[in-house]
Amino acid sequence: MPHPLTVDDLWALPRVGAPVPADDGTRAVVPITTASMDTNEATTRLWLATVPAPGAPPAVRPLTSADVSSSMPSISPDGTRVAFVRKPGGPKGDGKAKAGPRFPDKPQVYVMPLDGGEPERLTDLPLGASEPRWLPDGRRLAFVVSLLAEAPTVDGTAELAKAREDEPVKARVTEDRVYRYWDRWLTDGQIGHLCVLDLATRAMVDLMPGWTRWLGLWEPGGSWCIAPDGREIAFSGCRSEPPYDPLLFGIYTVAVPEAGVAAGAEPEPPRLLTAHHGGPASRPVYGPDGRWLVYGIQHELDFYADPVRLVAHDRHAGTHTVVTDIDTWDRSASGWTFSRDGATVLLTAEVEAHNVLFALDLAGAVADRAAHPPRALLRDGWLGEPRVGGDRVFFTRESLSRPPEAACCALDGTDLRALTDAAAAGLAEIAFGPVEEVVFAGAEGHPVQMFVVHPPAAADGGPAAAPGPRPLVHLIHGGPHGAFGDQWHWRWNSHAFAAAGRVAALVNFHGSTGWGDAYCRSILGRWGDQPYHDIMAATDVLVERGVADPARMAVTGGSYGGYLVSWICGRTNRFRCAVNHAGVCDFQTQFASDVTQGRRRSMGGELWDDLPGLDRYNPVRQAAAFETPMLVVHGVQDYRVPYNQGLTIYNVYKARELPARLVVYPDENHWILKPRNSRHWYGEVLGWLGRWLG
Backbone angles phi, psi at 545, to 5 degrees: -80, -5
Do residues 508 and 448 touch, judged by C-beta distance below 8 A? yes
Hey, how many other C-beta atoms are within 10 angstroms of the C-beta on 664? 14
Q: Is the pLDDT of residue 324 over 60?
A: yes
What pLDDT shows up at residue 288? 97
pLDDT score at 135: 98
Q: What strands, in cross-sheet order, belong to the sheet with 470-476?
A: 435-441, 447-453, 503-508, 470-476, 548-558, 577-581, 630-635, 660-665
What's the Rg (C-alpha) of the chain?
A: 26
Give the per-residue pLDDT at 220.
56
Confidence of residue 219 (pLDDT cuts 50, 70, 90): low
Compare 215 and 499 and report the one with higher pLDDT.
499
Confidence at residue 262, expressed as pLDDT on a 0 to 100 scale: 55
The pLDDT value recorded for residue 260 is 66
Helix (H) / strand (E) element for 534: namely: helix 530-544
Provide the pLDDT for residue 458.
55
Q: What is the distance of C-alpha 626 from the center of its chain?
A: 34
Q: What is the pLDDT of residue 259?
A: 82
φ, ψ of residue 161 to 5 degrees: the values are -60, -40
651-672 pLDDT per residue, tens:
999 999 999 999 999 999 999 9
- The whole-number average pLDDT for the span 270-287 is 96
How crowded is residue 359: how many other Cβ atoms within 10 Å of its Cβ?
21
Order across the sheet with 81-86: list the strands: 70-75, 81-86, 108-113, 120-121
Residue 634: strand pairing partners: 664
> Does 465 have pLDDT greater than 60?
no
Least confident of 146-160, 465-479, 494-508: 465-479
Question: Crossing angle, helix 530-544 and helix 560-569, to 10 degrees?
Answer: 70
| The pLDDT of residue 466 is above 80 | no
pLDDT of residue 95: 46
**pLDDT at position 261:** 62
Give the model's confidence band at 461: pLDDT under 50 very low, under 70 low, under 90 confident, else very high: low
User: Residue 43 — very low, low, confident or very high, per pLDDT cuts 50/70/90?
Assistant: very high
Confidence of residue 92 (pLDDT cuts 50, 70, 90): very low
The predicted-structure confidence for 352-407, as pLDDT tens digits, reads as follows 999 999 999 999 999 999 999 999 999 999 999 999 999 999 999 999 999 999 99
Q: Is the pLDDT of residue 586 over 80?
A: yes
Q: Is the preceding peptide bond at 243 cis, omega within 30 degrees of 0?
A: yes
pLDDT at res. 218? 63
CA distances (Å), 156 to each of 85, 150, 153, in order? 23, 8, 5
Q: Residue 32: which of 42, 22, 21 has the closest Cα?
A: 42
Q: How confident is the model at residue 93 (pLDDT cuts 50, 70, 90)?
A: very low
Half-sphere exposure of 296 (CA within 13 A, CB side): 25
Written as one string, the DSSP assignment of 435-455 is EEEEEEE-GGG-EEEEEEEPP
Give 167: exposed, middle or buried? Use CB within 10 Å, 0-12, 13-18, 19+: exposed
Contact 360, 368 (CB under 8 A): no
Amino acid at 412: D
pLDDT > 70 in the chain, percent: 95
pLDDT digits (tens, 9 = 90+) for 310-319: 999 999 999 9
Question: Residue 483, Cβ neighbours under 10 Å: how many?
Answer: 25
Region class of 364: left (phi > 0), else alpha (psi between -120 and 50), else beta: alpha
Least Cα distance to 505 among 469, 559, 460 occurs for: 469
Tell me the average pLDDT of the chain. Answer: 94
Q: What are the structural domains of the chain?
A: 1-92+103-121+391-431 (no CATH), 432-461+468-693 (3.40.50.1820)
Q: Could you tell me the CA-to-CA distances from 451 to 228, 438, 485 in Å, in that order?
A: 44, 6, 9
More confident residue, 261 or 636: 636
CA dist 222 → 219, 227, 295, 296, 544 (Å): 6, 15, 11, 12, 46
- The 10s digit of each residue's pLDDT in 49-82 is 999 999 999 999 999 999 999 999 999 999 999 9
pLDDT of residue 478: 97
d(CA 27, CA 64): 16
Residue with the larger pLDDT of the pair 475 and 101: 475
Do 120 and 96 touch, CB atoms closer than 8 A?
yes
| Cβ contacts of 69 within 8 Å, gap of 6 or more | 42, 43, 44, 45, 86, 87, 89, 90
Taking the C-alpha atoms of residue 524 and residue 617, their distance in angstroms, rounded to an integer, is 11
